[in-house]
Amino acid sequence: MEYRRLAEAFYRIESTTKRIAMTDYLSDLIRQTPPDLIGKVVYLIQGKLYPDFVGIEIGMAEKLAVRSVSIATELSIEEISEDLGRTGDIGDTAFQELQKAAPEVREPLLVSDVYSMLDTIAKTAGPGSVEAKVNMLAELLKRATPLEAKYIARTVTRKLRLGVADMTILDALAIVYGGGRQSRPIIERAYNITSDLGMVAEGLAEGGLEAVKKFHVTVGKPIRPMLAERLKTPEEIMARTGGECVAEYKYDGERVQIHKRGSEVTLFSRRIENITKQYPDVVELAKATIRADTAIIEAEIVALDPETGENRPFQELMRRRRKYGIEEMAKEFPALIFYFDCVYADGRDLTELSFPERRKILGQIVTTTDRARFVEFSIVDSVNALEEFFEQAVQQGTEGVICKAVGPESIYQAGSRGWLWIKYKREYRSEMADTVDLVVVGAYYGRGRRAGVYGSLLMAIYLPESDTFRTITRLGAGFTDKDLAELPKMLEEYRIESRHPRVETKERPDVWFVPGLVLEVIGAEITLSPLHTAGLNMFRSGSGLAIRFPRFTSRYRFDKAPEDATTEQEIIDMYTSRIRKVAS
Ligand code: ATP
């Protein structure tokens, strides 16, 4: 298969503002792809070579790609840099500069060539590797058409930005291999328990739906986490859980999925990244306390203050997410593990067992120590008991509790936010119940004291049904001077020329972004507003919902993907329960 086909499909996907068209172009591309290449093509669509959890990234610096374009076009580095200054995009620069060069008759570039060259670039390390990477990329660009060069240059610098969500790829796979969208749940399940879209696509291409039905949980392949719904009163929670549940502390830490095989331990984040290197102390604790030979265990890790013995807040733990100085950070912010679930043990997939059964097995395969414990929990069967336990949890400095169903239906639902787990947080008692996680989709330039930085950010919620983002507020408060100075740099990698097709808004910000960065926000209340598209026409024709007086809580949710942001339904629920409260 020629890479040209991929480049043309990317061009079409990028040029459309309609999500349906995006799915169509994607389906066409998948249909044209031979089965033995489908896995690779799916990763390339995502701008990757492997699923994230493998941890092999292309990530060549833009500066180096400039050198490769210069070699390929025989133009000076200065000329290329100057052009890049104008376009702001290495793909566009590669496209333009290659187009200027006299067209040659070239051997067509194959997908397999591009993939294997990018793979070699990604894996080349050590002394002399920089030169080698620059030259390899230059060779590849020399063989490429301008359009191909555009997407190769973007892929290699991790700026492909097609904005195709995993769910859109699942839709396209269902259409091409599953006989239509109705097969999506089967395909989605396979994805939820493997987190590997390429592998799911390969399975489908080779053996159809039957093959992916046989997928099961495996050590080394992270599963997509089960998530909690939210309710605001203990009464509602007890009614939902049928009068009995297990309430657990909701620790303010980072979720980890611990995979153990023999003496090998791997850690995955909530976003399914491999974070093993960041937490060497957690790896050691897990090795010392998990007795099963093979296991997948879920836990919350929390930063400990070694002087006071108290838990520290989430932001401090996030400081351990870095590339350098890991050992020093581990000393300064040692981690505590709180085990809470187990989905695989000694060769057995436990996802279909009830929560009490899984907890029993967890109890059998883990030995606890001071630094590795089970979450605090209580079996509650009344509103009073739940309130009491919640007070205790809050006093201990946690965010609140998570109430978990205990009946036979309480299986582990990978990748889904459902009512089997319900969170009840301390903020729910303030005016606007909960904090929300919003995605930055645009920005407005600042004036006066904020000249030169962004004055406010355009924030959006997520709609899983259409895989789009709708705006809900302009966020300008809660930022420190340091935040304001850093935000433009942080957002640079998401910057695009015009509105992203997945963003639905009436606003016209000065700068647009690919939905990427997630911020935690608290507001005074949710009101009807003609300015925003969240919940548009749900409550009043022409009006949507807006968050009034939003403030950034200082939490950058790097642990969340844009698709993990607060959903439109959650906002609608928050709004309607407030109206109910006011009415009663
Ligand atoms: P939030 O933004 O409120 O942390 P979330 O979207 O990350 O929520 P939810 O499933 O809604 O995820 O809430 C559960 C989260 O709470 C988990 O992802 C996990 O990080 C954390 N957590 C803390 N303690 C527990 C526990 N005992 N059981 C499950 N999750 C827990």
pLDDT, tens only, 68-81? 999 999 999 999 99
Atom of ligand 1 lying closest to residue 425 CA: 3
Band of pLDDT at residue 575, cut at 50, 70 and 90: confident
Does any ligand 1 atom lie closer than 6 A to the CB of residue 402? Answer: yes
Burial of residue 470 (CB within 10 Å: 0-12, 13-18, 19+) is buried
Mean pLDDT of 3-28: 93
pLDDT of residue 46 exceeding 60 = yes
Atom of ligand 1 lying closest to residue 226 CA: 10
Residue nearest ligand 1's atom 30 by CA:
250
pLDDT, tens only, 340-352? 999 999 999 999 9
Distance 566 CA to ligand 1 centre (A): 13
Neighbours of 65 (CB within 10 A): 27
Distance 555 CA to ligand 1 centre (A): 15
Cα(90)–Cα(156) distance, integer angstroms: 10
* Mutation pick for ligand 1 pocket among 376, 402, 420, 573 (CB with most ligand atoms within 8 Å): 402
Q: Which 8-state DSSP code applies to residue 244?
A: -
* Mutation pick for ligand 1 pocket among 255, 358, 420 (CB with most ligand atoms within 8 Å): 255
Mean pLDDT of 478-490: 92
| Pairing label, strands 436-445, 518-522 | antiparallel
Residue nearest ligand 1's atom 4 by CA:
252
Residue nearest ligand 1's atom 18 by CA:
255
Distance 92 CA to ligand 1 centre (A): 41
pLDDT of residue 397 exceeding 80 = no
Neighbours of 530 (CB within 10 A): 11
Does any ligand 1 atom lie closer than 6 A to the CB of residue 300? Answer: yes
Atom of ligand 1 lying closest to residue 229 CA: 11
Atom of ligand 1 lying closest to residue 230 CA: 11
Distance 402 CA to ligand 1 centre (A): 8
Residue nearest ligand 1's atom 16 by CA:
250
Does any ligand 1 atom lie closer than 6 A to the CB of residue 375? Answer: yes
Contacts of 307 (CB under 8 A, 6+ apart): none
pLDDT of residue 567 exceeding 50 = yes
Using DSSP, state whether 314 is helix, strand or coil: helix
pLDDT for residue 451: 84
pLDDT of residue 26 exceeding 80 = yes
pLDDT of residue 371 exceeding 80 = yes
Does any ligand 1 atom lie closer than 6 A to the CB of residue 250? Answer: yes
Band of pLDDT at residue 309, cut at 50, 70 and 90: low
pLDDT for residue 340: 98
Cα(518)–Cα(3) distance, integer angstroms: 33
Per the prediction, the chain carries an average pLDDT of: 91
Neighbours of 448 (CB within 10 A): 6
Report whether 232 contacts 424 (CB < 8 A).
yes
Task: Name which residue leads in pLDDT, 529 or 190.
Answer: 190
pLDDT for residue 17: 77
Does any ligand 1 atom lie closer than 6 A to the CB of residue 565? Answer: no
pLDDT of residue 219 exceeding 80 = yes
pLDDT for residue 358: 98
Using DSSP, state whether 177 is helix, strand or coil: helix
pLDDT for residue 539: 86
Using DSSP, state whether 27 is helix, strand or coil: helix
pLDDT for residue 225: 97
Distance 169 CA to ligand 1 centre (A): 26
pTM, whole model, 2 decimals? 0.76
pLDDT of residue 394 exceeding 70 = yes
* Mutation pick for ligand 1 pocket among 380, 401, 423 (CB with most ligand atoms within 8 Å): 423
Does any ligand 1 atom lie closer than 6 A to the CB of residue 340? Answer: yes
Instruction: Please provide residue 522's backbone torsions phi and psi, each rounded to the nearest 5 degrees.
Output: -125, 140
Contacts of 9 (CB under 8 A, 6+ apart): 25, 26, 28, 29
pLDDT, tens only, 498-547? 999 899 999 999 999 999 999 999 887 788 888 899 999 988 888 899 99
pLDDT, tens only, 76-114? 999 999 999 888 889 999 999 998 876 667 789 999 999
Task: Name which residue leads in pLDDT, 252 or 200.
Answer: 200
Closest alpha carbon to 498 in 64, 88, 23, 22: 88
pLDDT for residue 428: 56
Q: Is 133 a catalytic residue?
A: no
Which has the minimum average pLDDT: 21-30, 314-323, 435-444? 314-323
Band of pLDDT at residue 564, cut at 50, 70 and 90: very high
Does any ligand 1 atom lie closer than 6 A to the CB of residue 255? Answer: yes
List of domains in the chain: 227-429 (3.30.470.30), 436-583 (2.40.50.140)
Band of pLDDT at residue 433, cut at 50, 70 and 90: low
* Token digits of residue 62: 């833009």
Distance 228 CA to ligand 1 centre (A): 7
Which of 276-290, 390-404, 418-432: highest mean pLDDT?
Answer: 276-290
Strand partners, 250: 400
Atom of ligand 1 lying closest to residue 250 CA: 24
Distance 253 CA to ligand 1 centre (A): 9
Task: Name which residue leads in pLDDT, 233 or 249.
Answer: 249
Percent pLDDT > 70 in the chain is: 96
pLDDT of residue 430 exceeding 70 = no
Neighbours of 573 (CB within 10 A): 16
Strand partners, 475: 457
pLDDT, tens only, 319-329? 777 777 777 77
Residue nearest ligand 1's atom 2 by CA:
437
Place of tokens 């907890």: 359
Atom of ligand 1 lying closest to residue 417 CA: 10
Task: Name which residue leads in pLDDT, 487 or 465.
Answer: 487
pLDDT for residue 40: 97
Distance 503 CA to ligand 1 centre (A): 27
pLDDT of residue 584 exceeding 50 = no
* Mutation pick for ligand 1 pocket among 249, 275, 300, 462 (CB with most ligand atoms within 8 Å): 300
Cα(97)–Cα(85) distance, integer angstroms: 13
Instruction: Pick the catalytic residue from 48, 150, 250, 260.
Output: 250
Mean pLDDT of 258-279: 94
